[in-house]
Every structure is written in structure tokens, then in C-alpha cells.
Structure 1
């Protein structure tokens, strides 16, 4: 019963730069405008090098999400590594890991080698210009932890900028502020596939 109570407590605690975002941000022949405040925020967090408080919590969350994710990442080792890294980077940024998974589902279908037609890379579809803006040209955006750190940091920045309004933050992440299409899709995937019930 104590474990059940702790599980309930954990589930209460748990609750984007996209392919389309990159299209909106990068016009042929001209670099996208860079938000100086976001650049500083990324520089601070991208340089930082786990997130579960308790082994039981880790096992419950990882088992639940691993079962849900099996159709997308059939290799168990790859799947668990992916989930641990998503959880760590999401929690580090103050985001709900299950929502970040939904965003990744929409962005790349969990393909860490995903490359959009305009050059956005990895599971969270990060534009390469960020590496140069941060003075970190050596960063590999195909590397899962690097990609997650960039993506979670950017989403958290927009969430703070929008005073906790996740729909507006997702629209900013996608470069489509003013349109509900992208936030609606992420929320649909979140509630249909990944939402952790309180």
C-alpha cells in the first residue's frame, strides 16, 4: 500500500524546435533571427552535464513507458536508454517527461537520425545554427543527450516566456504562434499515447 501511495505521488509529479518550426525559422538565403535571451539561456544549460529520486519510481515509470514505446523502438536496450535520457533532460529543464515524449513523437517518430528538409536534426529537430550561436560547433545534434538538452531548454524557455501556457510555448517551439494546429497535435499525442494519469 505504501508503494501504491508513492506511485500515486510520483504520477502526480509527472504529468519543441520542430521540422515545421525549422521551416518557419529558416528562410532560404537568410539566417533565422536569434533571441539573445534564449541564446544566453541555452549557453548556460547546454554546458551542464539523475533524475529519479527513488529506484521504485524509476522502475514504475520506465516499465510503463517502455511498454507503450515498444512499437516505436523495438530494441529494449535502446528504448530504456532513450527513456532514461528523456526523463533526465526533461526533469532538468523542469518539464513533464511524458509531454516531451509526445513532442518527440510528433517531431521525429523517435528517430534520432531524423533530418528535416530544411536541416533540423535529431529527435527534437534542432536547427544547426544554434551550435554556432552558442559557440559550440563541435556539438553533435544527432547525439541523443545533446539533442534533448537543446530541445528541452528551448521548450522551457518558451514556457517561461509564456508564463506557463504550454500551448503557446509549443507554438513558439514550432514557429507557429497564433495557430493551434501544432499544439493541438502534441496534446493529442500526449493524451492518446503518453499521458501519465495523476
Structure 2
């Protein structure tokens, strides 16, 4: 039962140091592991960018639902990112990259809060970079080899979402274990619990409009 609760993120809230805006980045400890050529090729293809995200909607209602989400999330993120244009571009890119990777947008926002406190140029003690704290070896394995590009917003968010999707697939849909692998602490609960706790702040209820 306890393990099940941890997997749903319903245990203790995240430690305070993980959520402080000015705190150093503590997470982002993905471990470099051997990848089959087919996996490496697929991951490389997944991170190739053809330009900024272009949002497409199946219907007018879907577009309106997105705009309501954007307004609600923009209000919640204002303290972290007071510039309106920067905040909206960031949220649009998170929404696009999370959905592109088949991830819950609220989970990705929770992960970013824990990883970097929404700081674009955050660097962890182990060298992980940017919003989603990507380890530089990923640029060598599936990127262009330049770790400096991990400070580019869309590059960082795309790598983070693609890597988390890869770990989730490896763990056969178990997000608790996938988050642990993302953090380099697979099987231990503090990091997944922290992300699940932060995620709850970013869940959008269309009925509430807030």
C-alpha cells in the first residue's frame, strides 16, 4: 500500500529546499547508460527540432481549452517569471513538448519546479543544466555535442521530455521508477515524491477557470 501511495505522489510534501526560488539545483543526475543503436537513433530523431513549436488544435473548443489553461498557468507562474512574453513562450513550449512526448503537462511543470525552480540557467552540483537539468553527456549521445545548447529553452525542454519518455518506456509506464531514473535515484522515494507534490500545484481544472 505504501509503495502505491508513493507512486501516486500522495505521501509527504517535497522538502522545502527543493522548492525555494533561489535554491541551488540539486537534481538532474541522469546516469549515462549503454544504448542500443536503434534506441540512440530514435532518441536522436526525437530531439531534432524544425523550429519553434507550432500549436495545432483539432477544434475551436480544444483551442479555447488551451487558452484557458495558458491563462491559469500564467497567473500561477507570474512570481517566478514576471515578464508576460517570456512566461507565455515558456508555457507554450512546455505544453507543446510535454504533449509531443506523451507526458502530463502538470507533471513536467512539477519536475521543472523541483529541478531548477524555473531558472533557465540553473546548474546542479553534478553539472546538469537548465530548466529540466539535463546532463551534458546527452548532447554527445543524441545531440549536436555542444552542452551550451542546453541553456536554450526549447532544446532543454525537448531533451528533458524525450529523456523522461525514454525512461518511462524503459520502466513500462511506472512513473515512480522513471522519475527515479531521471534523477539517478531509481527505487528511492524522495525525488519522485517531491515531483508528485509539486505537480499538484500545476493541475488545471477546466471547471474552475483558475
Quickly name the TM-score band, shorter chain normalised.
Answer: 0.7 to 0.9
Tell me the alpha carbon deviations over residues 115-167 of structure 1, each in whole angstroms, 9 at most, x when there is no partner: 11221110000111111112512460000100011000010111112222111
Q: Is 1:35–2:35 an aligned residue pair?
A: yes
| Structure 2 counterpart of 1:13 | none
Q: How many residues align?
A: 173
Distance 1:168 1:196 in 2: 24
| Structure 1 counterpart of 2:67 | 59
Q: Is 1:128–2:128 an aligned residue pair?
A: no
Greater mean alpha carbon deviation, residues 155-164 or residues 178-187: 155-164
| Structure 1 counterpart of 2:9 | none
Which structure 2 segments of 5+ residues have no match?
1-24
Which structure 1 segments of 5+ residues have no match?
1-17, 26-31
| Superposition deviation, residue 39 in structure 1 | 2.9
| Superposition deviation, residue 48 in structure 1 | 4.0
Q: Normalising to structure 2: TM-score of the pair? A: 0.76
Tell me the alpha carbon deviations over residues 8-62 of structure 1, each in whole angstroms, 9 at most, x when there is no partner: xxxxxxxxxx84342x63xxxxxx4343365333212011433452431221010
More helix by share: 1
Q: Normalising to structure 1: TM-score of the pair? A: 0.80
| Superposition deviation, residue 107 in structure 1 | 0.2
- For residues 138-177 of structure 1, the aligned pairs below 5 Å read 138=146, 140-177=149-186
Q: Is 1:107–2:115 an aligned residue pair?
A: yes
Distance 1:34 1:127 in 2: 15
Is residue 51–residue 92 contact of structure 1 (8 Å, CA) maintained in 2?
Answer: no
